[in-house]
């Protein structure tokens, strides 16, 4: 049995996830962002990238969404979630996604690279994942769709934000309360892919 990290033993959201049956504390990040920004609604089709162990997929299902989850690592089954084990940069994975659903209302990604502990390496590995998630979003999002992706803050963050924001009506970098205070992670939130509709004004 893998020992818990000290930060987990002291973490409110870690224990809250255990108590409420979520597979990861990250579930609360999506719950908080959805409450604030209205990203996922009942009946939506959601593509969850880097989904394992499944915390975000659990939340999406709770919200009434149909979920296709993708990860290079295996993931235990979740009711109403179609899981695809594969690399999000692979054309074979893209094909398998399209065989389930051609277009999605929401694309979400909480994927993280393998952490080395070296900030510059971890940042650039994160950038590669974020860009891969965005390529999938551009291919699979419906007009007016929503996109959420995690990135590690660093020198490439302004460039990524500048690129992504061109494609959405509403765009924001956001750190939900459930993110660890010392974490460098931040989420890009985009609503209204392709500028096809004007969402209600969001408050900071």
Q: Round to the nearest angstrom and report the end-to-end CA distance of the chain.
A: 42
Q: What is the C-alpha separation between 81 and 59, in angstroms, rounded? A: 11
Predicted confidence (pLDDT) per residue in 48-76, tens digit? 999 999 999 999 999 999 999 999 999 99
Q: What is the C-alpha separation between 24 and 51, in angstroms, rounded? A: 11
Predicted confidence (pLDDT) per residue in 144-194, tens digit? 999 999 999 889 999 999 999 999 999 999 999 988 776 789 999 999 999
**Alpha-helical segments (H) within 44-106:** 55-62, 91-100
Predicted confidence (pLDDT) per residue in 86-137, tens digit? 999 999 999 999 999 999 999 999 998 887 878 778 888 899 999 999 999 9
Active site residues: 150
Q: Is the pLDDT of residue 14 over 90?
A: no
Question: What CATH fold (topology level) applies to the domain 26-193?
Answer: Rossmann fold (3.40.50)
Long-range Cβ contacts of 96-102 (<8 Å, 24+ apart): 97/47, 97/68, 97/70, 97/136, 97/140, 98/140, 100/68, 101/45, 101/47, 101/66, 101/68, 101/140, 102/140
Residue 49, Cβ density class (10 Å: 0-12 exposed, 13-18 middle, ≥19 buried) = buried
* Mean pLDDT to the nearest integer, 16-21: 71
Q: What is the C-alpha separation between 172 and 201, in angstroms, rounded? A: 12
* Residue that has been written with the tokens 């909480």 in this structure: 110
């Amino acid at each position: 049995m893998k020992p818990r990290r000290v930060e987990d033993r002291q973490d409110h959201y870690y224990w809250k996830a255990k108590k409420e049956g979520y597979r990861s504390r990250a579930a609360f990040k999506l719950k908080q962002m959805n409450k604030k920004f209205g990203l996922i609604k009942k009946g939506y089709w959601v593509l969850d990238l880097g989904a394992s162990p499944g915390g975000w997929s659990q939340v999406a299902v709770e919200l009434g969404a149909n979920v296709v989850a993708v990860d290079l690592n295996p993931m235990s089954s979740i009711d109403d979630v179609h899981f695809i084990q594969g690399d999000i940069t692979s054309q074979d994975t893209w094909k398998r996604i399209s065989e389930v659903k051609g277009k999605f209302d929401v694309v979400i990604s909480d994927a993280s690279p393998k952490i080395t502990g070296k900030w510059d390496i971890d940042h650039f590995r994160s950038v590669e994942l974020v860009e891969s998630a965005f390529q999938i979003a551009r291919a699979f999002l419906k007009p007016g769709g929503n996109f959420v992706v995690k990135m590690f803050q660093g020198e490439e963050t302004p460039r990524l934000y500048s690129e992504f924001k061109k494609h959405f009506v509403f765009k924001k970098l956001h750190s939900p309360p459930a993110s660890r205070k010392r974490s460098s992670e931040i989420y890009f939130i985009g609503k209204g892919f392709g500028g096809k509709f004007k969402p209600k004004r969001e408050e900071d």
